Every structure is written in structure tokens, then in C-alpha cells.
């Protein structure tokens, strides 16, 4: 299933995309009318925190009932009528990010001496950076002249966990989404570390959907394509990752307990603007589209 969060008629909602229609099931209304539980999660993150992966089957069963009803249409909302939100609108803590996870990226970065890592490289983006599909991302031109895009596959954690064993790693995954890891490279160099240059307001665009893991045959064989103003900049496969999803979950959870709703962005491949000759940084009105097989296309425009 493809979960989404959105605003409709001043209400903050979440739902599931209707199959073969550009509509979403309004899960809050469906759960109110058809779920036997008195508790109705207010957000998708809260639903994951309470039910974990069991929420997937719970929703699937309820929708199978609703879609057969004569009044099923009243529980649908046209996607043209919504304001998109990030599937997870606020994480329990900072967003985990993986650096230098694609050999192609390491090879193309000429101005920095980067060696292929032997161990996972982890940094974070502030939880306040989250933005959504179709949302305008500020240019932050008062702070940076080197704003860049990074298309990435992101993992959403299903349950609280620590010391995850590699063979069981996918048991702790709820699903997958797309992240545009907007980065201010000059701020990275100025401050000598990743955090500030990675944590500008709205610099973690997420969406459009959170696709449940049961619908992703192999998260390590998904194509990532990033376009800027229609020009293909990144075109790669997650099969190129140095550290696979089980490596990431096992390594992070040894040190930091993971929580339901945590997000782990798995790194970006070659094709970023800072590695081009001449360098091509983002500017006002640029449109970035990131497409990953089976998830959809995340679209953002750079504002003033």
C-alpha cells in the first residue's frame, strides 16, 4: 500500500492511495466508522508507533470492506484537492543519513579527498528540516551560494529496536519513501562538519508516499532518477550501495536505539550539481523531480 499524509479542507489527515485512481482513502474517517478500536491515531507516525507493521494488515482488511460499499466514494479524496505533507511529518529524533554510500559519488567528487569507507558513515539532519511533495524549498540565499540536491531512498522504522541482527533487519522496516537531501556545501566546508549544512529549513523533502515493505520486492534493486528542470542528473540503482539496509540498521542500532517513525536516508549516487563541470547549484525557480521505482515522484521547486 501507498500511505500518504495531507491537508484537506483545513484538516490534517492521512490515508492510502486508491488503486488505479488519483484519489486517497481518508483513513481517519474510515477508522472512525469501521474500526472496532476506540483509539484513532491522529497521524501516520502515531499509527506506526502503536501498531507497527500490523497497521498494514489492519488497514488492508478495513479497506476491503469499505470499497465494496455503495457509499465508498464518500471516503475518497481527490489528490488534486489536497496539500501534500511528508508521510512522517515529524520524526522522533534527527533524520539519520548515510554518507559516501555510492562508489560513483565518491569517484566523481574531485575537490575533496574522499576514500571508500570501510565502515558506515552516519550524520544527521535536524527533525525540523522535513518538507513535503510539491512544497517550495527556500533558496536560503542569505546563507548559502552552493545549494544542491541529493536523491535518496529512505527507510521508515516500524518499531522500537536496538542491536538488530542483520538477517532480521527487514522485520524492523515499515516501508520506504523518497528523500531529497538538500545540502549547502559551502556551509559544510565553513563549519567543518555536515550537520549545519544539512539542516537548513525544509531541506529534507519526503514523499510523496510511504510504500509498505510488502510491496517492494527488493529495496536494493530500485532505480533512482533525479531531474532538474527536466534534465536527468542522477540515474542509478540502489544495488550500487556499499552498505545495504541490513548493514545500516544493524550498525546504527548497536549504538543508538531506533524508534518507530525514525527515518534513515541511504545515501545519494553520482550526479550531484557540485560535482559537475562547471558546478550547477540550485537557484530560484529550479524544479527537482526524484523518481524511485514503485514509490513515485517527489517534486519540489526552489523558492526565493
Mean pLDDT confidence for 4-15: 99
Question: Could you read off the pLDDT of 135-186 as tens digits, one per residue?
Answer: 999 999 999 999 999 999 999 999 999 999 999 999 999 999 999 999 999 9
Distance CA 265, CA 48 (A): 18
Question: Could you read off the pLDDT of 73-101 as tens digits, one per residue?
Answer: 999 999 999 999 999 999 999 999 999 99
- pLDDT-based confidence at residue 114 (cuts at 50, 70, 90): confident
Give the per-residue SS3 of the chain. Answer: CEEEEEEECCEEEEEEECCCCCEEEEHHHHHHHHCCCCCCCCCHHHHHHHHCCHHHHHHHHHHHHHCCCCCHHHHEEEHHHCEEECCCCCCCCCEEEEECCCHHHHHHCCCCCCCCCCCCEEEEECHHHEEECCCEECCCCCCCCCEECCEEEEEEECCCECCCCHHHHHHHEEEEEEEEECEEHHHHHHHCCCHHHHCCCCCEEEEEEEEEHHHCCCCCCCEEEEEECCEEEEEEEHHHCCCCHHHHHHHHHHHCCECCCCEEECCCCCCCHHHCCCCCCCCCCCEEEEEECCCEEEEEEECC
Q: Of the given ranges (150-154, 192-196, 234-238), which has the lowest mean pLDDT?
A: 192-196
Which ranges in the chain are annotated with CATH 3.90.850.10?
A: 95-302
Looking at residue 110, its pLDDT comes to 65
Report the mean per-residue pLDDT for the chain: 97
Looking at residue 78, its pLDDT comes to 99
pTM of the model: 0.97
Q: Are 5 and 77 in contact (CB under 8 A)?
A: no
Q: Is the pLDDT of residue 57 over 80?
A: yes
Looking at residue 296, its pLDDT comes to 98
Q: Match domain 95-302 to its CATH number in 2.40.10.10, 3.90.1150.10, 3.90.850.10, 3.40.50.410.
A: 3.90.850.10
Mean pLDDT confidence for 243-256: 98
Question: Is the peptide bond prior to 304 cis by the omega test (within 30 degrees of 0)?
Answer: no
Percent of the chain with pLDDT over 90: 96
Looking at residue 222, its pLDDT comes to 98
- pLDDT-based confidence at residue 112 (cuts at 50, 70, 90): low
CA angle 111, 117, 119 (to 5 degrees): 150
Query: Which residues lie closer than 8 Å to 170 by C-beta, 6 or more apart?
Result: 213, 245, 246
Q: Is the pLDDT of residue 128 over 80?
A: yes
Looking at residue 144, its pLDDT comes to 98
Looking at residue 229, its pLDDT comes to 99
- pLDDT-based confidence at residue 241 (cuts at 50, 70, 90): very high
Looking at residue 80, its pLDDT comes to 98
Amino acid at each position: 500500500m501507498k500511505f500518504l499524509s495531507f491537508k484537506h479542507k483545513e484538516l490534517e489527515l492521512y490515508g492510502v492511495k486508491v488503486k488505479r485512481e488519483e484519489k486517497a482513502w481518508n483513513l481517519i474517517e474510515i477508522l472512525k466508522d469501521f474500526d472496532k478500536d476506540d483509539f484513532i491515531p491522529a497521524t501516520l507516525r502515531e499509527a506506526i508507533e502503536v501498531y507497527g507493521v500490523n497497521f498494514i494488515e489492519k488497514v488492508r482488511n478495513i479497506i476491503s470492506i469499505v470499497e465494496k460499499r455503495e457509499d465508498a466514494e464518500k471516503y475518497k479524496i481527490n489528490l488534486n484537492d489536497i496539500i501534500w505533507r511528508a508521510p512522517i511529518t515529524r520524526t522522533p529524533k534527527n533524520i539519520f543519513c548515510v554518507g559516501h554510500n555510492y562508489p560513483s559519488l565518491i569517484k566523481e567528487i574531485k575537490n575533496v579527498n574522499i576514500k571508500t569507507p570501510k565502515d558506515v558513515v552516519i550524520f544527521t539532519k535536524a527533525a525540523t528540516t522535513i518538507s513535503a511533495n510539491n512544497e517550495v524549498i527556500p533558496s536560503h540565499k542569505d546563507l548559502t551560494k552552493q545549494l544542491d540536491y541529493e536523491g535518496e531512498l529512505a527507510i521508515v522504522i516500524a518499531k522500537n529496536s536496538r542491536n538488530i541482527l542483520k538477517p532480521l533487519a527487514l522485520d524492523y522496516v515499515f516501508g520506504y519513501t523518497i528523500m531529497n537531501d538538500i545540502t549547502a556545501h559551502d556551509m559544510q566546508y565553513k563549519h567543518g562538519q555536515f550537520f549545519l549544512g544539512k539542516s537548513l529549513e525544509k531541506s529534507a523533502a519526503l514523499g510523496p508516499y510511504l510504500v509498505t515493505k510488502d510491496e517492494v520486492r527488493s529495496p536494493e534493486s530500485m532505480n533512482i532518477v533525479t531531474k532538474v528542470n527536466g534534465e536527468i542528473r542522477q540515474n542509478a540503482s540502489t544495488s550500487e550501495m556499499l552498505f545495504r539496509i541490513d548493514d545500516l540498521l544493524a550498525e546504527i542500532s548497536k549504538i543508538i536505539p531506533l524508534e518507530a517513525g525514525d527515518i534513515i536516508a541511504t545515501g545519494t549516487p553520482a550526479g550531484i550539481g557540485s560535482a559537475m563541470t562547471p558546478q550547477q547549484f540550485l537557484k530560484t525557480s529550479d524544479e527537482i523531480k526524484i523518481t524511485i521505482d514503485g514509490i513515485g515522484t517527489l517534486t519540489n521547486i526552489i523558492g526565493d
